[in-house]
């Protein structure tokens, strides 16, 4: 039973998990232990099937075990698992990323999104000769010390937005503005003239659910950074190749100075990357003095899976088809909520979305925190009972894949009817 496994897990792993949100603290109960995945579905240890809207928190844009990725992994595995030396395949993946994302002239592959964001701000600090960074409340950029100041995602779920263990002197170099409030960023720049190395932002805030940028917000950040001698970093670990063929920056037509990526570019395997303007990236060792290294960076299995995924995404009509599937899921959820008389705001950008139990627009951190958490808990567990796996936190985005077919939609529709009625029950 899952509870038995969880009891065993708590003896050997903190909280019984290897990443906090998996513990179901925000929704209650013990987590589902997954045995396998297939297409849009996952199966638990008892063999029960669920329509999966977690999708490993975003990378599985083609669903579980797509044939293209499995074939590439099989071929790569036959050659070896790790070399710690250059391979032709990592060059091809780097070229693919640079070709698809115009602002990225050079790229460095790393092992995780956290590693990518930590490396990007180190580069920004070195390039500008400044120490202070600006981030936004609720935006999560991995668990690097500089970022765990009013962070989103799992930090919010556990009720510890600022983590113990972060040195006060380092936290003091991180200024926090309000997402979607350009004036709040300007005020901080005015308060610390000449101190900011960079602005780092999720162009679509994906760690407080899914909060798109207001019109002019990203454009204003680009202008602010340029005017004040700072760099603009887009954290596209979640949105890169997910919401558009060139990421959120392609969708909104804005070129940042640096970009961090992950998830989709690994095809389901651990990977990250940071890249940007050539003059900046040539400051990274061994081309320049900014040190960053990793034995498993460019791992041949992750590179093979990522290249197979990006090749599949380049097929004509892929994103158009994914948009249709995502719109259908959103329509099902909104319709079920309306019939149940349940207040709902559903934010969606392409195949990334989040339902909030709240009236009116949800455009910032305060609105996210004002949503009804108790209704979300009831809704979550009713969906599980109906064979649907949503994100186990009101602060996590949901995702749709190209494998979400009519059967997945039918299961979702049936489960949603019961779940929204449960959500509004006294």
Q: Residues with catalytic annotation?
A: 140, 235, 263
H or E stretch including 202? none
Rg of the chain, C-alpha, whole Å: 21
Q: Which two tokens stand for residue 271?
A: 């990977």
- Specify the residue for token string 């993946």: 93
Q: Which two tokens stand for residue 232?
A: 């603009």
Contacts with 331 (C-beta within 8 Å, 6 or more apart), sequence order: none
- Specify the residue for token string 């005020």: 187
- CB-CB contact of 353 with 397 (8 Å): yes
**Angle at 264 (CA atoms; ends 261, 268), nearest 5 degrees:** 125
Alpha-carbon distance 268 to 228, whole Å?
Answer: 38
Closest CA to 308 of 51, 75, 85: 75
**Angle at 276 (CA atoms; ends 240, 173), nearest 5 degrees:** 90
Q: Per this entry, what is the length of the chain?
A: 426
H or E stretch including 352? strand 352-356
Alpha-carbon distance 119 to 285, whole Å?
Answer: 11
Contacts with 4 (C-beta within 8 Å, 6 or more apart), sequence order: none
CA dihedral 280, 282, 283, 289 (to 10 degrees): 180
Alpha-carbon distance 420 to 232, whole Å?
Answer: 40
CA dihedral 80, 17, 234, 216 (to 10 degrees): 150
Q: At what angle do helices 67-77 and 300-313 cross, to 10 degrees?
A: 150
């Amino acid at each position: 039973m899952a509870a038995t496994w969880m009891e065993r897990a708590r003896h050997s792993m903190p909280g019984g998990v290897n990443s906090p949100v998996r513990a179901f603290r925000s929704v209650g109960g013990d987590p589902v232990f997954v045995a396998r995945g297939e297409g849009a579905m996952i199966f638990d240890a008892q063999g029960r099937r669920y329509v999966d809207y977690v999708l490993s928190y975003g990378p599985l844009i083609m669903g579980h075990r797509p044939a293209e990725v499995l074939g590439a992994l099989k071929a790569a595995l036959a050659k070896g698992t790790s070399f710690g030396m250059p391979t032709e395949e990592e060059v091809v993946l780097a070229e693919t990323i640079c070709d698809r994302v115009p602002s990225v002239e050079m790229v460095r592959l790393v092992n995780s999104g956290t590693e990518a964001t930590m490396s990007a701000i180190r580069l920004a600090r070195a390039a500008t000769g400044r120490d202070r960074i600006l981030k936004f409340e609720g935006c999560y950029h991995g668990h690097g010390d500089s970022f765990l100041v009013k962070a989103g995602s799992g930090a919010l779920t556990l009720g510890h937005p600022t983590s113990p263990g972060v040195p006060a002197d380092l936290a003091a170099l991180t200024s926090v503005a309000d997402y979607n409030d350009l004036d709040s960023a300007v005020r901080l720049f005015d308060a610390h003239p000449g101190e900011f190395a960079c602005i780092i932002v999720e162009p679509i805030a994906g760690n407080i659910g899914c909060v798109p940028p207001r019109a002019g917000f990203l454009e204003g950040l680009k202008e602010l950074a340029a005017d004040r001698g700072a760099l603009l970093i887009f954290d596209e670990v979640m949105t890169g190749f997910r919401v558009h063929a060139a990421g959120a920056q392609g969708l909104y037509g804005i070129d940042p100075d640096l970009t961090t990526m992950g998830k989709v570019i690994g095809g389901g395997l651990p990977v990250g990357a940071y890249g940007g303007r050539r003059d900046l990236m040539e400051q990274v060792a061994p081309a320049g003095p900014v040190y960053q290294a990793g034995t498993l960076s460019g791992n041949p299995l992750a590179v093979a899976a990522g290249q197979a995924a990006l090749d599949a995404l380049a097929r004509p009509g892929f994103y158009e088809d994914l948009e249709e599937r995502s719109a259908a899921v959103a329509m099902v959820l909104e319709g079920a909520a309306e019939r149940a008389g349940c207040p709902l705001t559903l934010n969606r950008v392409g195949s990334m979305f989040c339902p909030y139990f709240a009236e009116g627009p949800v455009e910032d951190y305060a609105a996210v925190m004002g949503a009804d958490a108790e209704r979300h808990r009831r809704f979550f567990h009713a969906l599980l009972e109906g064979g649907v796996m949503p994100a186990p936190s009101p602060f996590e985005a949901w995702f749709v894949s190209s494998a979400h077919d009519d059967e997945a939609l039918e299961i979702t529709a049936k489960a949603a009817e019961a779940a929204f009625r449960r959500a509004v029950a006294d």
